[in-house]
Amino acid sequence: MKVLVPVKRVIDYNVKVKVKADQSSVDLANVKMSMNPFDEIAVEEALRLKEKCIATEVIAISIGVKKSEDVLRQALAMGADRAILIEAANDVHMDIEPLSVAKLLAKVVQAEEPGLILAGKQAIDNDMNATGQMLAALLGWGQATSASMLEITNGSAQVTREVDGGLQVVNVKLPAIVTCDLRLNEPRYASLPNIMKAKRKPLQAMTPSDYGVDVAPRLVINTTVEPPARAAGEILGSVDALVSKLKEVGVV
Amino acid sequence: MSVLLIAEISGAYIALSATAKALSAVAPLGPVTILAAGDGVDPAPLAALDGVAKVLHVEGADYGHQMPESFSELILSIAPNFTHIVAPATAAAKAILPRVAALLDVMVITDVTKLESADTFERPIYAGNATQSVTSTDPIKVLTIRTAGFDDAPAAAAAPIEGVDPTTGSDLSNWVEDRVVKTDRPELTSAGVVVSGGRGVGSEENFAIIGALADTLNAAVGASRAAVDSGYAPNDMQVGQTGKVVAPDLYIACGVSGAIQHLAGMKDSKVIVAINCDAEAPIFQVADYGLVTDLFEAVPALTEQLK
Ligand SMILES: Cc1cc2nc3c(=O)[nH]c(=O)nc-3n(C[C@H](O)[C@H](O)[C@H](O)COP(=O)(O)OP(=O)(O)OC[C@H]3O[C@@H](n4cnc5c(N)ncnc54)[C@H](O)[C@@H]3O)c2cc1C
Ligand SMILES: Nc1ncnc2c1ncn2[C@@H]1O[C@H](COP(=O)(O)O)[C@@H](O)[C@H]1O
């Protein structure tokens, strides 16, 4: 079966984000961008399925600015077979909403007929945690979110999910969507020869209109502001001093 | 305005505080109908919350297991009567509500921290490094509420409870098992005090000193991702961008460096204490009180003094 992996280009998780002076968004000009960390885990999991001869082909797909090619090349360098770029924006500050992303992915699914979609659990820019679930709904497929273990056996996926009380194990019929949590695996690094090889792997460039999907946002962004800073604290010299402070402010 | 609030129910257990906090967040919008879907659940405590117009009660094993395929179908069957479909931002709601939104062809708005009006909402982005205000242009608003910043809705005279029919259900997925960690400690997201351990705690055995301090304070225990990944603590204790979000009166971080992804889950706590031997650790930038010292000395001493 084919495995489809949607990967998003986001601000690198190590970068300290700054809000633009006009409060329109976070400033993404000249900052380091990377593949969403959860999506690297999804790519890794897809590659492991291919190594176990469960997946036949791993297709990475990204929706956004043309520069998203970078993260697709990274997926290819890790070992994905081919990539699809849907150029849906020309400004990095324009985020394509999960509903639109899901609609585009649903069209790609119609064309490619994958047996499994491995997505990230959440994009670390908008922190929505929605796209996989929305796509599952549009396709009428089963879903398992926040996976920390995945096993494919005769036509279904057994998934261990991280939930509020601990772990939940579910069985989902294939085709299905699984979204990956941080403890699913440790993504591999791409070797230099593989990075070179990735440059020659096929990358198909598309636009939302090729799929007849309207990506106009449903949410109007009014302002993006920095949260209020906390007042400076104090370093205390001893446990005694801490205990008296805590008593003074009435929290113990 | 008419609001459908999905109560957080696992099996027969109602997470009353999470539901009551989401209720007080949305009560200003108008009468709230609560959907109590579970397995063997007694909806009476939900009906006795202030602001509730009615409770819809429905039973089903899939609902008790919070299976998104069946649960979203159930919500869809009653959704047309409502302008707002909301739930506390729990793991279950995060799985279910985006599915509901997509089926209604509307955009879901997750982790709402403030309702500015019936269509305008605040939510954190970039691990809480920015706050965005968004206005939804969709006819139905589907929201999950980050409960940490809201108080529980108080008790009131009981609202009527009405039975509704379960929907057909789905065979797309099956529940296999829950591996739930039982604890006598308070629930992490609603506890008044949280004591958290990070990689600095060093081992699962050492985590007992975090537990001992927590027990002295009747606190919940939290952990950093590094502590969970290293097997010192179970995953349900993780606090942060991808773990739980807490805002207790007192948060004590022990051997936690304070990565932005961890701060995302606790920086709205009222009083933050950091115990870390590295004076440069970023946790001290959000701490009200810091001890630059070995946690293996400070934590037991603190426990002793607070007994
Ligand atoms: C996409 C993504 C999501 C993430 N989500 C989360 C999340 O939800 N929650 C989360 O916590 N992390 C999350 N992380 C991980 C985060 O970036 C950090 O790696 C993690 O929080 C570090 O945990 P730590 O502070 O315990 O470990 P470290 O950073 O290793 O810090 C250990 C600290 O312990 C101190 N220490 C050591 N020994 C002692 C001693 N004897 N006494 C006192 N102090 C001592 C050290 O000085 C150090 O500051 C995420 C990362 C990514 C990429
Ligand atoms: N623009 C995008 N391009 C490709 N994949 C995406 C995009 N947006 C979201 N995704 C996928 O959906 C997951 C969840 O994103 P979100 O719902 O935005 O938190 C991500 O981890 C990706 O796997």
pLDDT (tens digit per residue) in A74-127: 999 999 999 999 999 999 999 999 999 999 999 999 999 999 999 999 999 999
Closest CA to A3 of A80, A50, A58, A74: A58
| Cα(B244) to centroid(ligand 2), Å | 21
Angle CA(B67)–CA(B73)–CA(B76) in degrees, nearest 5?
130
Q: What is the CATH number of domain B188-306?
A: 3.40.50.1220
Is B256 known as a binding-site position? yes
Instruction: Note the pTM of the prediction, 2 decimals.
Output: 0.97
As for ligand 2, residues whose beta carbon falls within 6 Å of it are A 6-8, 36, 38-39, 42, 62-64, 96, 98, 101, 119-120, 122-123, 126, 128-132
Domains of chain A: 2-248 (3.40.50.620)
According to DSSP, the residues that pair with B175 across neighbouring strands are A170
CATH 3.40.50.1220 segments of chain B? 188-306
Mean per-residue pLDDT, A153-167: 95
CATH 3.40.50.620 segments of chain B? 3-163
pLDDT (tens digit per residue) in B183-229: 899 999 999 999 999 999 999 999 999 999 999 999 999 999 999 99
Please tell me the predicted confidence (pLDDT) of residue A154. Answer: 85
Q: How far is CA A126 from CA A135, B22, B24, B125, B271, in A?
A: 17, 22, 25, 5, 28
ipTM for the whole complex = 0.97
Locate B19 and state its tokens: 């539901």
pLDDT (tens digit per residue) in B110-127: 999 999 999 999 999 999
Class of domain B3-163: alpha beta
| B109 interfaces chain A, CB cutoff of 8 Å | yes
| Cα(B93) to centroid(ligand 1), Å | 27
Backbone angles phi, psi at A83, to 5 degrees: -140, 155
Please tell me the predicted confidence (pLDDT) of residue B181. Answer: 81
